[in-house]
Amino acid sequence: MFEIINDKKAILDAARPLPAYTLKSLREKLFLEWTYNTNAIEGNTLTLNETKVVLEGITVGGKTLREHLEIINHRDAITYVEEIVQKNESLSERQIKNLHQLVLKGIDDDYAGRYRDQQVFIAGAKHTPPAHYLIEEKMEQMMNWYQNEGINLHPARRGAMLHAIFVGIHPFIDGNGRTSRLLLNLELMKDGFPPVVIKVENRLAYYEALDKAHTTEDYDDFISLVEGEVEDSLDLYLKAIS
């Protein structure tokens, strides 16, 4: 596992630094697709091109304020992820809460960056998240796993498992999916991988793999799905330098 993406990343690393404008255009392309797909998975109806113009500061008629905010907020959350990577900071609950606060800014300020205080359920899933009074304990367990076991894993496995464990806890009222995908890419980007895009057309496989991980503790399907998306992002970069 991971041999192909390791080989492709080695080729990419050997070609670094990439030309400035090539790198800028790759970043803009991936971050647009990341923002569009992560919001589309959650039901945002803005198209890829509509997402692009919202990021450019233009309002799209017929779309809700929430849908616009989801795009702008995700852009700001990506910027925060980049800052963490640049500063080489270790993952913390403070960062997770900050990310979530950015995701829900102006959408639900009462719960932005705050753990939930009530039970929630995940539509279509067999898994039921833990009771709200267990969240602090579950998040502490997740951070202990990350610091003691996760930190030694391949970044694709570590990021995938962090994503799955986090979204299984479902610590926030809303915005857990977007936050979990930001955490996945945070781990990949720390190790020099380009960000991945969990595509909306793969939503069913994505949800099924997550539910399997949560109900059986078998993460292989979800890790494989993430590995495929990592390869797609690497292929995009390699195509640009070939």
Q: Which of 68, 100, 170, 214 is catalytic?
A: 170
Whether 163 is catalytic:
no
Contact present, 105 and 73 (Cβ < 8 Å): yes
Contact present, 183 and 96 (Cβ < 8 Å): yes
- Interatomic CA distance for residues 32 and 206, integer angstroms: 20
- The sign of the torsion formed by the CA atoms of 152, 155, 157, 158 equals positive
Can you give the C-alpha Rg of the chain in angstroms? 17
Closest of 13, 4, 19, 6 to residue 240, by C-alpha: 19
Contact present, 232 and 201 (Cβ < 8 Å): no
Cβ neighbours of 188 (radius 10 Å): 23
User: Checking phi first, is residue 129 left (phi over 0); if not, alpha (psi -120 to 50) or beta?
Assistant: beta
- Write the CB contacts of 33 (distance below 8 Å, at least 6 apart in sequence): 48, 197
Catalytic residue set:
170
